Amino acid sequence: MTDIKLHQHYLHFSELPYSMRSLYTVVLMTLGLAYLFAAIYLFHSYAGRAGGNPMMMTYNDVVVAYSGSGKGSRLEAALRGPMSTMLPADEASALIGWVEMGADKDGYEKNVKPTLDKRCMSCHDGSNPHLVNLNGLDNLKKVTEKDTGTDIFTLVRVSHIHMFGLSFVFFLMGTIFGHAYMRPVWLKCAVIAAPYLCLVADIGTWYLVKLYHPFAWLTIAAGAGMGASFAFMWAVSMYQMWFTRAPQPVLLRSDDKSNVG
């Protein structure tokens, strides 16, 4: 018996109809798969940015992603980092060498453009607003400038997309997890609120890393916190929905209702 009375509007998973539990289950499974794909894409985008092991994401990778390497060009940073597997080493070196020699027009026409047409234009032809446009010398010149990381307007664009999208995801997760039985209640409320706090911290530090690199540790911690919150709510919801019996306070309430009248 618990000292905290169940709220009149609270319904445990066991009190929901099978149709609702089935809906919650397929939503959780779909969101879980989507979150896994997002984590894989995030790892692919950041790992190796600083020129290290492309199979491991580090603090330096996050710093370079948002504030730049402070040396070389954006094109070089990409070719040595996330795009390192997209071109053979000799072709990548040729592109980097062209940039270091001043990115002249003759070199572009003779050596660079054929490589870009062969290796890059299928994705970077300008048709996708989310990818760098490498179509033409003028567009290419923009990424031969000093690497200063992701520009502010790109961060703003990505920020609002992430905040809208992830707020909705965690609203669904929180709604489903709200049917779980957890005591103390404040801990349950904290778990529901945690991913939103992590989301704000994560996105906020994207901008702060440009000013002070150690904020990258907070970016990493906030991202990990979101992932941990998602995994915890997902696992608890699935477990209590299908693999455990109703807690004692819920059973007692059910008995009381059955005895009414």
Q: Which of 80, 111, 141 is the last residue of a domain?
A: 141
In tens digits, what is the pLDDT along the chain, a chain of 261 residues? 445 678 888 999 999 999 999 999 999 999 999 999 999 988 888 888 777 777 788 999 899 889 887 666 777 777 776 677 788 888 888 888 888 787 888 888 888 889 888 888 888 888 887 788 888 888 888 787 776 778 888 899 999 999 999 999 999 999 999 999 999 999 999 999 999 999 999 999 999 999 999 999 999 999 999 999 999 999 999 999 999 998 998 888 866 555 444
Q: Among 92, 124, 141, where does a domain finish?
A: 141
Boundary-marking domain end, from 110, 141, 172 = 141
Query: Rounded to 5 degrees, what are φ and ψ at 119?
Result: -105, -25
Q: What is the pLDDT of residues 204-251, one digit of tens each?
A: 999 999 999 999 999 999 999 999 999 999 999 999 999 999 899 888
Cα dihedral value 47, 49, 51, 54, nearest 10: 20
Same domain for 154 and 248? Answer: yes
What number of other Cβ atoms are within 10 A of residue 256's Cβ? Answer: 9
AA letter at 204: G
Say if residue 184 is preceded by a cis peptide, omega within 30 of 0. yes
Q: What angle do CA 230, 233, 234 make, to 5 degrees?
A: 80
Give yes or no for a contact between 209 and 221, defined as CB atoms under 8 angstroms apart: no
Would residue 51 count as lying in a domain? no
- Distance from CA of residue 156 to its chain's centroid? 15
Tell me how far apart the alpha carbons of residues 222 and 240 are, in angstroms, rounded to a whole number: 27
> Where in the sequence is the domain holding 103, given as residue range(s)?
71-141
